Structure 1
Amino acid sequence: MLAFKRALVALDLSEMDLQLLQFLAQHYQALGIQKLYALHIMPDFTEPSHPDLDFQKRFAPESPVDERVELAIKARVEEVFGEAPGLDIDIEVREGKPYEKLLHWTKIKEADLLVMGKKRLSEGSGITAKRVARNVHAAVLLVPDGAGAEIANLVVPNDFSENAARALHAALALSRAMKGQPVHSLHIVDLPPGHYYNRSSPDRGYLGMLMESARLAAGKFRDAQGIADDDIVDVFQENNRNNLAAHIIRYAADQQDSLLVMGAKGHTPFETFLFGSVTERLAQSIEGQPLLIVR
């Protein structure tokens, strides 16, 4: 079972909050969350930018703004979670630069998992999915605006690396903790550009050799990781989009109610440099499906 025992969810008093809380209410047990911090960060307590808070400041100034925010968040949390057996929830309202404070409090609270929304349009807070995913120490769960709370499939891009193995084991643990949802191990075969002119026979020639090699590597990978053949759905596809992130997103979108699970490296300077490419592009581009980045 996954054990993201301490999780922090970033809230901003928008409609996105309800979506994040509903997702967590449905899956906190499968994720192994025992302690949840609901964090809202305001740049300046003396100048609340949210219309509701500004109204209350003018017509009900006797209550400090941070306490009003805490009460508003508490009411929504209680509405969504109800009793929530086995889960302890704290509301945190802090002042400062949102991006910096988000990383700071994720570290201070020793969170194993950071949960945040990904809106279609940025609202200028400086908190971008790509930026946070690169720099936070914890695993990250991104829930895009409009994504549903249901999970019917788990999709793990697999390049047979240690990161992919970590992501695959996380997906299998989630599947076991939920309803046994199928776990798709997606391997995308890159064909060198010089061979793209001849793709009319995908099962023959150089591409056929690459596909066969990938299948053999997948078998060795499963054996090394102690994963049975029927534990996962092996998928092998040609990178006909010439863009790995776009291909992964398209495959996930074709699966009903999918959750993408990716592995990421740690935080030495070299590992941060390597983090880039596919995982960062997914964090930046994902729209319809939640994305879990495990470390």
Structure 2
Amino acid sequence: MNTLKRIMVGLDLTEMDDTLIRYTAFLCSISEIEHVYFIHAEKSLDVPDEVLESMPNGMPADEKLRTALVEKVESHFGSDSRVQIDVQVVEGTPLKELLHWSKVKHIDLVVVGRKFRMRGSGVLAQKILRNGRVSVLFVPENEGTILNHIMVSVDFSDYSLMALERMLNSSLLRPDVRITCLHVYQVPTGYITLGIHYEDFDKRMQGFARNKFEQVLARFPALKDRATLRLVKQENEDDVGELIMVECKRAKADMLVIGAKGKSAAALFVLGSVTEKILRFNDDIPMIVYKKKDEEIGFLDALLGND
């Protein structure tokens, strides 16, 4: 079952749009994505003349912007009619509009840019992630179009296994795509109390992880011939986000996949999750954060005023 049929791409009229459109076209070419919504939200469509001067005359601001975006999208997608394309320009707060339309259109994945040097703060992408409902793909500003090796961060929780299952069912996995399941573990300080040597406890923790991985392979038979387990020990002073990104780069992964627990509206601005720690260190690898759509009411309904 393909769990990746309808995606939404947030555009902001910066150089990042070219990267996002190009990468989205690449994903569509290797998968069974059926519908892509490109959406740009302006707080006010009373757009300055200098922004519109190179666009067709005799049109309202939203139509001028949409015409320009349609041309840019078509330049990357060409005449491929297999994927249905919808380009929209709407008025309103970008965060609220993207969340609203992702719910209305039953979007499986929102694609956003991960900026570092380009114009714009890139804060919107992280705010979308925090809403607690929609899965998000972060695309770095200089990303190329390749997907031969996917790394999935696995702690054997329900959330990481959900992410693994969603990836397996996403249609992004061509037969030649390799999967590495990355597990970061720690040696608990309890080994002292139990009278066990550190090295022995370390081996026990690795053995525990390998046993868990065998259970994962039994649950997802499709992984048996293409997935490997990569174990990394986290020392007390290590940042788990940095560790995961170092391993991704060391393994030359083309994409990182993680599962994240949703947050309620009350916890919206609480930082420190593993996801956000990874984002701090990830400047060049596309990353999908899968979430459970029906986990809780959360921030989206609080923002939109729904009961």
Normalised by the size of structure 2, how large is the TM-score?
0.81
Residues 213-249 of structure 1, C-alpha deviations (whole Å, 9 max, x = no match): 2212222232244455433111111124621111111
Counterpart of 2:44?
44
- Matching of residues 176-215 of structure 1 within 5 Å: 177-192=173-188, 204-215=199-210
Q: Judge conservation of contact 1:266–1:272 (CA < 8 Å) in 2.
A: no
Normalised by the size of structure 1, how large is the TM-score?
0.84
Q: Judge conservation of contact 1:3–1:33 (CA < 8 Å) in 2.
A: no
Counterpart of 1:151?
147
Q: Judge conservation of contact 1:249–1:286 (CA < 8 Å) in 2.
A: yes
User: Structure 1's 273 and 32: CA in aligned 2 closer, same or farther, altered over 3 A?
Assistant: farther
Tell me the distance in 1 between the aligned counterparts of 2:121 and 2:230.
Answer: 39
SS of 1:135's equivalent in the other structure is coil
Select the structure that is richer in helix.
1
Shift of 1:155: 0.3
Tell me the distance in 2 between the aligned counterparts of 1:18 and 1:258.
Answer: 19
SS of 1:73's equivalent in the other structure is helix
Shift of 1:120: 0.6
Counterpart of 1:160?
156
Tell me the distance in 2 between the aligned counterparts of 1:156 and 1:4.
Answer: 17
- Matching of residues 1-295 of structure 1 within 5 Å: 2-48=2-48, 51-53=50-52, 55-56=53-54, 62-121=58-117, 127-135=123-131, 137-173=133-169, 177-192=173-188, 204-226=199-221, 229-240=224-235, 242-266=238-262, 277-295=273-291
SS of 1:111's equivalent in the other structure is coil
Question: Size of the alignment, in residue pairs?
Answer: 286
Shift of 1:177: 4.0
Shift of 1:283: 3.7
Tell me the distance in 1 between the aligned counterparts of 2:253 and 2:19.
Answer: 15
* % same residue: 29
SS of 2:225's equivalent in the other structure is helix
Structure 2 residue runs without a partner (length 5+): 192-196, 292-307
Tell me the distance in 2 between the aligned counterparts of 1:106 and 1:157.
Answer: 25
SS of 2:208's equivalent in the other structure is helix
User: Structure 1's 32 and 85: CA in aligned 2 closer, same or farther, altered over 3 A?
Assistant: same
Shift of 1:19: 0.9
User: Structure 1's 36 and 48: CA in aligned 2 closer, same or farther, altered over 3 A?
Assistant: farther
Q: Judge conservation of contact 1:184–1:233 (CA < 8 Å) in 2.
A: yes
Tell me the distance in 1 between the aligned counterparts of 2:126 and 2:5.
Answer: 24
Shift of 1:85: 3.5
Structure 1 residue runs without a partner (length 5+): 196-200
Shift of 1:273: 9.3
